[in-house]
Structure 1
């Protein structure tokens, strides 16, 4: 039985997010949304809440459990219910994260007058059948998903910490116009760094493929280099540019958004629309790589381009790009030591990202297989 806030008690207002579950509304939206909470439903710890708002993550609206360990209130647009004593709360939490109950919603409700909400009568929603194994099996299934969720949270925290560490080291281990010596250095290095131009380090080249599918087709994106695993839109790739490991690749129209990469995938071909460069002797590409997408460099890229016909595209002025200033140490050993640090960070990020993807996929698979 659900209770309404008839006595105007000062409970925090909660909301049901498909991605984050039950959260404090003011924290979630960074501001207070609801002022008059009279007749709002009272939501106790471990109560379940159905939100009829649909989304890509919750095509029939999310059903989530209040894990906040506090009592709050929710809009009367939601449906609040609690468990009977013989049902494991963790089991039911993950049951509703699965898609097992979608069939009932499809057969008994509809999208209603508003396209962003699913319409189902409370009396019908209450009749939803839920298949429950014996209590011991419910407990084991709930524990299994709790372990997987803890692993997902752990990998996400590690990723976030590594990204914060990289951001901090980028600010401290490189010199620039405002600070010609980095504030964090390896011993025994000292002294100012020297100013160079991007053109001092790279030289444009263009070697075209002559044979269809001779090399894998690669693509440069704002997130990194990607293997297309085939032709782009089925088109011929004769005349594409051949690149090798360590080559610099950028999109002339999207450089200002950070579409610039150093190829680490291996020999491949890229669209003729890309600009391709080789590094000259005397510079370690791995020293340049961490700096390519810093805020300072993005600002420089924007200044090295002009507005195109489309508001989302700018056209690279190659001469201005080659004039961008880069600072480097006089001692190649300091340059290599810095490169090793950022290579290690990149490897750790890739490792924990792959583990996060593994546990996320495992959870998705088990959600599909362990409920009926």
Structure 2
């Protein structure tokens, strides 16, 4: 019921958004057209045309935006379902997102209920299902499917059912980027288990699983780059494709450097806001320190368990390493959704209802800014 109620509210928001888009000059806007905007179009291209064997180039010889930036599993599943729906890929894509979002909510509930009480876990699911990015559950994006695999994988790790991870890791890896963060999680998890082996026995069988799964996650994490290189004949095809999305912001900066994206963006955004660029570096450093302190010391977060905290730390570090923060940063933070458990722990009803209200307000803001008004590369959802 929580998920259905949240989807009903999002549907109303999308209906209002479509009507507003019509009035602002985007004639014929519908829920379907809003739900298939931006990356939804790219997944549609993958589903119907596949991946280019020859990388598209601009006049200066740089690789331009193309389908290699998008993993294949989501469009393949949606394409398969579309055959049952009269070839209607957009409908199939949204159905896949809706179903995967529901399963993700169930998995999140069980993941959190392993550490916190039932009511708090339900409230966490409500905050997640109706939160600022909840429209993605009704869009042609791969987020719902990735979150489903991720929460199931974290649940398997918490329950120490390592066998399931041999299936879930490849499914994650070919749905969206981010499985390398799971490899880091497994490495940190193994270290923590080893340090506490006196009080929490670590059998040799589990050591083998943790090491093997970590290696599997690394191989899967780099496999798409290898596949793109083999198909196109360019070993750097995937990285060049990913960097093409940054070119609108920073031009040709010579290639990928770890952490460089956040450092450059800190200066760019503070310049856009009319603030001194050095303050951007200070703000970035303070944000990193605050995030680390939150995961290490905040009592509500600590109650979520070591697996959730290690995942959040691993994924945050992964983003810092590889991402260039822009408007899509909000969407890329969704894998940190288990932290909703900490937000739901305070028992006062006014707190929980106010957090739900804030989430709904921000959800409308996101739909309005990214889908209704979003027409440039600075408003990418």
Would the TM-score normalized by the shorter structure come out above 0.5?
Answer: no
Larger RCO of the pair (alpha carbons < 8 Å, separation 6+): 2
Q: Would you tell me which structure has more helix in proportion to its own residues?
A: 2
Q: Would you tell me which structure has more strand in proportion to its own residues?
A: 1
